[in-house]
Chains A and B, each alone.
Chain A
Amino acid sequence: DVKVTQSSRYLVKRTGEKVFLECVQDMDHENMFWYRQDPGLGLRLIYFSYDVKMKEKGDIPEGYSVSREKKERFSLILESASTNQTSMYLCASSGLPGRDDGGSNQPQHFGDGTRLSIL
């Protein structure tokens, strides 16, 4: 089974702090993703990475950065936390499409999430 582990289940930080959210996967997946989930807005993509040291902006990257120094680890960084970044943060990973699956059979697997509160 795929295991995606997020470092904290709950986290409380103060406005202006630099916050690190860590995510580790054990399936040698190439792709890793960070989402945030808010009531009524669903899951929104913050950043993703296709490979080590590669990153691409998602739909809401403002106020966030990421780091992928090792294949198994993808970190989300809140440079200067603000109250509007209070949310549930979800990390996910997926493998590359295979040759015999039409290129489509690589679903994303999610970690348990980090509920982050910024006071």
Chain B
Amino acid sequence: QKEVEQNSGPLSVPEGAIASLNCTYSDRGSQSFFWYRQYSGKSPELIMFIYSNGDKEDGRFTAQLNKASQYVSLLIRDSQPSDSATYLCAARRDTGRRALTFGSGTRLQVQP
């Protein structure tokens, strides 16, 4: 079992819709969670991080964390074609190894 699991997609949504990207993790020692966006041929860029249970909003993006269920999600409201990319979920322990463990990513396609 991978430590961080994501559905590879593609997830296809129409322009203006809400895109929901999901991620589960197996290491209960993970405390911080990060969402990165990666365009084809480019390096990952940070969208949001979350470390408390509940929701965290930043513009059109909302990250949700449920530590009891070991579940992280990213909602993108009013999806735009420019949001089409691969979204990487990552988890990190805050003790011991501080490197991120990444999921394989979900490819999102926003249809105009």
Chain A interfacial positions (CB closer than 8 Å to B): 31, 33, 35, 40-45, 48, 50, 56, 58, 90, 94, 97, 102-105, 107-113
Which candidate, B13-21, B66-74, B77-85, B102-110, is the interface stretch facing chain A?
B102-110
Q: Which residues of A have CB within 8 Å of B46?
A: 107-109
Whether, in the assembled complex, B51 has its beta carbon less than 8 Å from a beta carbon of chain A, the answer is yes
Report the number of A-B residue pairs with Cβ-Cβ less than 8 Å.
Answer: 56
Chain B interfacial positions (CB closer than 8 Å to A): 31-32, 34, 42-46, 49, 51-52, 88, 92, 94, 97-105
A104 near B42 with CB under 8 A, answer no
**Mind listing 10 A-B residue pairs with CB under 8 Å?**
A33-B99, A41-B104, A50-B98, A90-B43, A103-B31, A104-B31, A104-B32, A104-B51, A107-B46, A108-B34
* In the complex with contacts A102-B51, A103-B94, A45-B45 CB distance below 8 A: no
